[in-house]
Structure 1
């Protein structure tokens, strides 16, 4: 019976008569032997019968918990429909209710800041002898736009790994979601009798970083060929951890680097459409946290690659956070923010630049990217002010889930007479405006991190560096059709599997070209590693 309870090996009703006899399953299943397609048809019918998306997600998780092959076969057939259900935005509801609806740990490892002597043992137990090649770890301090969700945030690691497999084809038996439970500052969780995590305020400082260091050391010992993907860490820790390890091990921070890649790819796609140069753009990032600074860094590096000096490139960036435009004397600056601060002497009205509208009027951005989680802040007056000074304003309201978006794509097109080049952080349908059908690109990291990570793993790369990430952005940005009226700046989710393979090959080739890979043929390495859902 163990095999029926092993989601990596279970076939359910698809076990043949011979297999049932061999495995001791005779009489343990109904007589009918189903094909994988018959199981998928049956499951999809049940999926459609659910009354809301959270129920649909819970149903899909039941399949995920019992039969990984069926889950990914089904998701492959309905990837556009399933992506928002298994990942963003529905995963936000799932995280909020994680402790209430908990049934299984989904083969995750739970590491506690209060029990650091058992970190290696915890990883070994959760892996259960599997050949782990990919780990997504979160401490859940900065989940989506939701903030601190403690141990509930492990759902984001599970969801990220689902997308890795569905999009790029990493073997689901070779992945491991990890929760680093450092406590939580979320009073709602601390007061919830059902909460499953450490019931104390979040730990910072030496004790926290000792846990991270012990965790990384254990990963390197147990899974030396794995990629370590950091996810949704708070702004005080995310960049510090990435900077400590990015040149030493194969690691990736999706919030810093993934958001940067997808934003650069979107801007490159927009430039293909507008026929403008990226070096002529003025960039305003609204929300200067982990993601906002990551975006600025990725775009800055691109300007330098295009021939600008570092000093000249920095002049193209304006970071706006809750204090307004960030200046050299702004209190509480993070190390990442300090790289992009402005001088008050540049402005006659520097003291008035305390809100987004004032900054837009002062600097006339041509590209405005929102990672603020402040809903509706890209107002009609701000967008019209921006559009008055540039022919094709590039506007990316990236905050998610839906309720936190800075603007709706439909409004951005209406306020700019269809001139805006828009990408959103959440799925947006086609929009009809003045006789043109506008496709709206989804600037979701899910479009890029599966191919990036898979390519690095397939190449057995030593590190994942800035050049590999830039090559991935160019590969993605080059897929759009710039001459189609209403063209999106990014390729559609419906082609996610196709372009994830393209990105993976580009990243693997970049690693080979830089002498950082342990393979010589990028296409073969990617093809050899790819897993397909079949019995």
Structure 2
């Protein structure tokens, strides 16, 4: 019987990104697939194609232009696209994801050229199953879904937020070898409250304010039911949902299906990694620290709870752990002495501290050993705040994690300069090395891309039934163990990004081991788990295409 994929011929094959090989089709393949005359006559090597596209991308100065060229390759030849990412991960990851993807989302409706993924709108309620049936993927291992309401630090971008699931899934493949033919980006378009977008004649989403309440919940439930019916083992990653939905969705679905929220749990995992690395540098324990968060949304509380979990593992009671963590929100320090009501999500971290309206006042009140910024308030870690942290601590921990770069609470240079080169620093956006007092520091991003690809890989490999929160502590511990002493000496709390595929394989195997041990896997456990996970990873050079 002829394989269906071998029936794709001529221009149809050249226009299929899963089957197209461009100028590398061999003489035999050109005859077999009816390509003779449709390509320049010389057969090129894969390396030559990579070199050609690398030169083209390098000819553009603006990151958004590089993004557009890469997306063009993504739409025409997936193997070539992912080989470009794998070979140039340091250079291209900030292009296909933060910070450039933020600009790409803002301009999404203006630069749109290639349809990718699944769009489910509020107008599709009652027929989502039909939309899911239109997806060409015969099997899907992972879905990244957003409703576009809280894109990075940029807010409500509506359907323009689709750039985030597309970017996240590109990292799943480039970093963790998740088969791109089994990865589906999804945007749930329920409207937008962004008046600028509603007034934009080129905006491609629904021109209405956001649907909320039961109608919203019913649409999400219909979507989950439809994709689970077609792909029973699919992992669903909730991405960039507003706080008003993020926790409710996670709480409702986490014990029903294999799902997680990367903003809450993935962010928490990578930040806890940074804290573990900082503890190695300080030769201290997490339970010795006092931590102040700038920001009190889903990211902050998710990180705070996972840090508390780690403190409990070190011997603290839950109450002792929570007492070491404080939040600072738009109204100031979250304290029981505050006159305004405190939400249930923030209440566990409210202490008996005196109210503080400014961050500097809060630092003086709490006397933290670490400040963690997840506020999307660019420049919020002022010179005064950083100098106060340096006054309180020999080696203050400064995590400025908001992205894109314009939203970073401080730059790496500011953190090191105002702490006399003594701080332990991590960032959410990329910064160049900094020289202070004749020493060069190499700041690395405390970005989710270190952990979520490997965690997703482990969950996909095991076809797990659910994803407990402990999985994210497993990921943090595994990643922290991969930080070398040389990394710490350079001020790096994370390993080099060039090692990301090895990192993902290690995290994937550790997560898979946990899921097997807890009886949450639905496949047989292999004798050599690490080897099996590595063999499972998709490779652009040897893609093993399985599309039918």
Q: 1:425 aligns with which of 412, 425, 428?
A: 428
Match in the other structure for 1:456? 459
| Aligned 8 A contact 2:506 2:530 in 1 | no
| Aligned 8 A contact 1:132 1:175 in 2 | yes
CA RMSD of aligned residues (A): 1.3
Which runs of 5 or more residues in structure 1 are unaligned? none
1:341 Cα deviation (Å)? Answer: 2.0
Q: Distance in 2 between matches of 1:300 and 1:466?
A: 12
Match in the other structure for 2:525? 520
Q: Distance in 1 between matches of 2:189 and 2:532?
A: 35
Alignment of 1:437-448 (within 5 A): 437-448=440-451
Alignment of 1:352-431 (within 5 A): 353-431=356-434
Match in the other structure for 1:59? 69
1:332 Cα deviation (Å)? Answer: 5.8
Match in the other structure for 1:496? 500
Match in the other structure for 1:135? 143
Q: 2:345 aligns with which of 317, 336, 341?
A: 336
Q: 1:27 aligns with which of 37, 41, 63?
A: 37
Q: 1:314 aligns with which of 322, 347, 358?
A: 322
Aligned to 1:388, what secondary structure does the other structure show? helix
Q: Distance in 2 between matches of 1:170 and 1:34?
A: 27
Pairing 1:100–2:105 present = no
| Aligned 8 A contact 2:120 2:189 in 1 | yes
Per-residue CA distance 1:236-265 (angstroms, 9 max, x = gap): 000110011111111111000011001100
Which runs of 5 or more residues in structure 2 are unaligned? 1-10, 543-548
- C-alpha change, 1:120 and 1:24, in structure 2 (3 Å) is same
Q: Distance in 2 between matches of 1:65 and 1:27?
A: 22
Match in the other structure for 1:530? 537
Pairing 1:509–2:513 present = yes
Match in the other structure for 2:286? 278
TM-score norm. by structure 1 comes to 0.96
Q: 2:309 aligns with which of 301, 310, 314?
A: 301
TM-score norm. by structure 2 comes to 0.94
1:515 Cα deviation (Å)? Answer: 1.7
Query: Which stretch shows the higher mean deviation, 461-470 or 251-260?
Result: 461-470
Q: Distance in 2 between matches of 1:321 and 1:10?
A: 50
Per-residue CA distance 1:340-372 (angstroms, 9 max, x = gap): 222xxx24xx34x12211110001000110011
Aligned to 1:472, what secondary structure does the other structure show? helix
1:383 Cα deviation (Å)? Answer: 1.4
| Aligned 8 A contact 1:459 1:526 in 2 | no
1:488 Cα deviation (Å)? Answer: 0.8
Match in the other structure for 2:159? 151
Match in the other structure for 2:489? 485
Aligned to 2:376, what secondary structure does the other structure show? coil
Alignment of 1:132-281 (within 5 A): 132-281=140-289
Match in the other structure for 2:126? 117
1:3 Cα deviation (Å)? Answer: 1.2
1:8 Cα deviation (Å)? Answer: 1.0
1:287 Cα deviation (Å)? Answer: 0.5
Query: Which stretch shows the higher mean deviation, 297-306 or 483-492?
Result: 483-492
1:140 Cα deviation (Å)? Answer: 0.8
| Aligned 8 A contact 2:454 2:504 in 1 | yes
